[in-house]
Chains A and B, each alone.
Chain A
Amino acid sequence: MVRELLVSNSLLRGHTLQAALDVIASFGPASLDFYATSPHLSIPLQDKPNTDRLAEALKHHGLTLRCFTPATYRYDLCYSPESPAGRASLIHFSRAIDAADALNAEYVVLIAGHGEADIDMHQRQQHVVENLQRLTKQQHHAKLAVEIPFCEPSENAMWQPGFLSQMANALPSIHFAFNTRMLLLSLHGWQQWLQAAAGRIVLIRLADGHWHGEKTWGEGIVHIASLKDILQATSPTCWVSTRLHADLDAQMAEKWYMKHLHAAQVAMEANR
């Protein structure tokens, strides 16, 4: 198996599903990192008719769904599973796993947040482990991956390579996803993160930008050379995704895609 580039619908979330898939399919046969958000697929409504409709639309457009990433809607793995927000988060993520299964996704990527800043950092870390333990008990085919969020440059940030190592040990079936902006701006250095993930990295998301947010590819701190280095340090089966969080018109989205696809292809070519 070789490294594969995944295109995402996340840039087109202001479009109807049909319109979004038309844009994506215009790039040719593609594999998808499907971002599950309304109106493309609403997680609270992921019943069989809706997932069947989506599967049919993907097939019609010649698109293969590899990876399923639910929008978080401010739900978070860092909340106490006993709190109202934690309980609601578990319901949301559990439904997302069901939807990923129904669509035969290979991985479901849960984007982590930071929880409530006034709650002790170690307590929040414990909540992440507890929540994932509950979710992995659920019967499912899709494998679970956690995407590590962008972290502030602080020694007190709850997401740290040390915690990731602990997670990897405590949760042997969990995989990891990263984005390039987070890796390159991290206080700890990207090598430490990749090392802590213990070879269980399934997806690198292309994201450029700086401290204040994501930017168009080429306008931030991520260069193709850095991307090549990161890909070199991951397994050759690790996917690369174009998932970005924006609502762009078709023309603008196409420009974004082209920049990202080009960068990814150059970096991937260098790593063959």
Chain B
Amino acid sequence: MSSIMTPFANSNQHHLRMSFQSFLDTQQRLHWREFELWCGCPHIALDAMTTQEARQVKHQIDSRNLKVVSLTSPSMGIPYQYADTDIHGALRYFKKGIDLASYLGAGICTVNSGWGLRGEERASAWARSQNILGTLAEYAHERNVVLALESLRPDESNLVNSLDSAHQMWQEVHHPALQMMVDNIATGAVGESLQDWFDAFGTALVHMHFIDGKPWVHQIWGEGNTSLGAQIDVIRRNHYQGYLVQEIAEERFYDDPGYYDRANQLSLMPWAAMLQSQNH
């Protein structure tokens, strides 16, 4: 069942100064049904999560008739990343995220390449990332979950930080459960367009962090310099069927996230109606 906002899905990440209950109540009030679940504290303590806690999370979401469409296991500012030197620990942690996605009925887990460390060869970090992503793709495949690989900005990673490096990792892992996604802040930061990514990946492009920016910050629509109409046009022309997640993550949103959700919703609502009529 879709909602008035489909295919725009929200995110709980910018509600990180509020309780999870407060986030869910806000989404219910705004009739914004679908969201990407960011599994960071205080909402989700993924690393220590028990089965009972996962059940509670599912109940909280289901009882409000909300839906998790994708899931992000945080990999920045936490002890694990996708090119971790502690491969065992990283796999254990990210598998928990895949398990939770599967349990909640979310078909997609967002992933990135992680990053190498200063003082080591890039090739070593690349090999670790490829190994971890390949292992996770197999694990996800067995649970009907697809991993969507996003690029990071060059200041965040020396591994997958461009279309070319994303394409290389995608080809080298070469697994049906590793598909691609655009984060249009990361792609915009290196001057790549949405059409570039559609041309490179076609139907393997299954997910998006679709936000406004200048282009370095994750802003709500109308605050950056991205043309929403032009972006939607690209999406329509390429018959994209995935979700457009609002991963707005600027610190000033954190104290009153519901206000910014509403402002963003007002910008997106007419486009949601248009995209829905086109898809049906």
Q: Which residues of A contact B (CB under 8 A)?
A: 12, 14-16, 18-19, 37-39, 42-45, 71, 73-76, 79, 83-85, 87-89, 91, 114-119, 249-250
Q: Which residues of B contact A250 (CB under 8 A)?
A: 118
Instruction: Assess whether B45 is interfacial by the CB under 8 Å rule.
Output: yes
Among B23-82, those with CB < 8 Å from A are 40-45, 47-50, 53, 56, 77-81
> Is B117 touching A88 in the complex (CB atoms < 8 A)?
no
For A79, give the chain B residue with the smallest CB separation: B42
Instruction: Assess whether B120 is interfacial by the CB under 8 Å rule.
Output: yes
User: Which of these, B18, B47, B89, B119, contacts A118 with CB under 8 Å?
Assistant: B18
Q: Which residues of B contact A88 (CB under 8 A)?
A: 41, 45, 47-49
Q: Whole-angstrom distance from the CB of B29 to the nearest CB of chain A?
A: 14
**Contacts known (A73-B78, A117-B255); A16 close to B118, Cβ less than 8 A:** yes
User: Which of these, A12, A38, A79, A84, contacts B53 with CB under 8 Å?
Assistant: A84
Q: Which residues of B contact A76 (CB under 8 A)?
A: 41-42
> Is A74 touching B16 in the complex (CB atoms < 8 A)?
yes
Enumerate 26 A-B pairs (CB-CB under 8 Å) in ascending A order: A14-B115, A14-B118, A16-B120, A18-B119, A38-B80, A42-B79, A42-B86, A42-B89, A44-B47, A71-B77, A71-B79, A73-B79, A74-B16, A74-B40, A75-B41, A76-B41, A84-B49, A85-B43, A85-B44, A88-B41, A88-B45, A89-B45, A114-B17, A116-B17, A116-B42, A117-B255
> Is A87 touching B45 in the complex (CB atoms < 8 A)?
yes
Give Cα A224 to B134, complex, Å: 52
> Is B45 touching A16 in the complex (CB atoms < 8 A)?
no
With contacts A84-B45, A119-B19 known, what are 16 further pairs, Cβ within 8 A?
Answer: A15-B117, A37-B79, A38-B81, A43-B79, A45-B86, A45-B89, A73-B79, A74-B42, A75-B45, A76-B41, A79-B41, A84-B49, A88-B47, A88-B48, A116-B22, A117-B255
> Is B118 touching A87 in the complex (CB atoms < 8 A)?
no
Instruction: Assess whether B183 is interfacial by the CB under 8 Å rule.
Output: no
Give Cα A39 to B120, complex, Å: 12
For B45, give the chain A residue with the smallest CB separation: A88
Decide if the interface of chain B is mainly helix, strand, loop or mixed: loop
> Is A15 touching B42 in the complex (CB atoms < 8 A)?
no
Q: Whole-angstrom distance from the CB of A255 to the nearest CB of chain B?
A: 16
Give Cα A185 to B78, complex, Å: 28
Instruction: Assess whether B85 is interfacial by the CB under 8 Å rule.
Output: yes
Q: Which residues of A contact B22 (CB under 8 A)?
A: 116, 118
Q: Which residues of B contact A42 (CB under 8 A)?
A: 79, 86, 89
Give Cα A134 to B136, complex, Å: 37
> Is A16 touching B119 in the complex (CB atoms < 8 A)?
yes
Q: Whole-angstrom distance from the CB of A139 to the nearest CB of chain B?
A: 22
User: Which of these, A19, A44, A89, A91, contacts B118 with CB under 8 Å?
Assistant: A19
Instruction: Assess whether B84 is interfacial by the CB under 8 Å rule.
Output: yes
Output the residue of A16, A71, A116 with the most chain B CB within 10 A.
A116
Q: Whole-angstrom distance from the CB of B227 to the nearest CB of chain A?
A: 29
Q: Which residues of A contact B53 (CB under 8 A)?
A: 84
For B256, give the chain A residue with the smallest CB separation: A117
User: Which of these, B16, B48, B78, B119, contacts A15 with CB under 8 Å?
Assistant: B119
For B89, give the chain A residue with the smallest CB separation: A45
Give Cα A83 to B56, complex, Å: 11
> Is A14 touching B117 in the complex (CB atoms < 8 A)?
yes
Give Cα A111 to B186, complex, Å: 31
Q: Which residues of A contact B49 (CB under 8 A)?
A: 84, 88
For A50, give the chain B residue with the smallest CB separation: B86
Q: Whole-angstrom distance from the CB of A254 to the nearest CB of chain B?
A: 13
For B118, give the chain A residue with the smallest CB separation: A15
For B115, give the chain A residue with the smallest CB separation: A14
**Contacts known (A44-B47, A118-B22, A119-B19); A74 close to B77, Cβ less than 8 A:** yes
Q: Which residues of A contact B115 (CB under 8 A)?
A: 14
Output the residue of A12, A15, A84, A118 with the most chain B CB within 10 A.
A84
Q: Whole-angstrom distance from the CB of B84 to the nearest CB of chain A?
A: 7
Q: Whole-angstrom distance from the CB of A212 to the nearest CB of chain B?
A: 9
For A37, give the chain B residue with the smallest CB separation: B79
> Is A117 touching B18 in the complex (CB atoms < 8 A)?
yes
For A250, give the chain B residue with the smallest CB separation: B118
For A22, give the chain B residue with the smallest CB separation: B119
Q: Which residues of B contact A87 (CB under 8 A)?
A: 45, 48
Q: Which residues of B contact A45 (CB under 8 A)?
A: 79, 86, 89
Q: Which residues of A contact B117 (CB under 8 A)?
A: 14-16, 19, 39
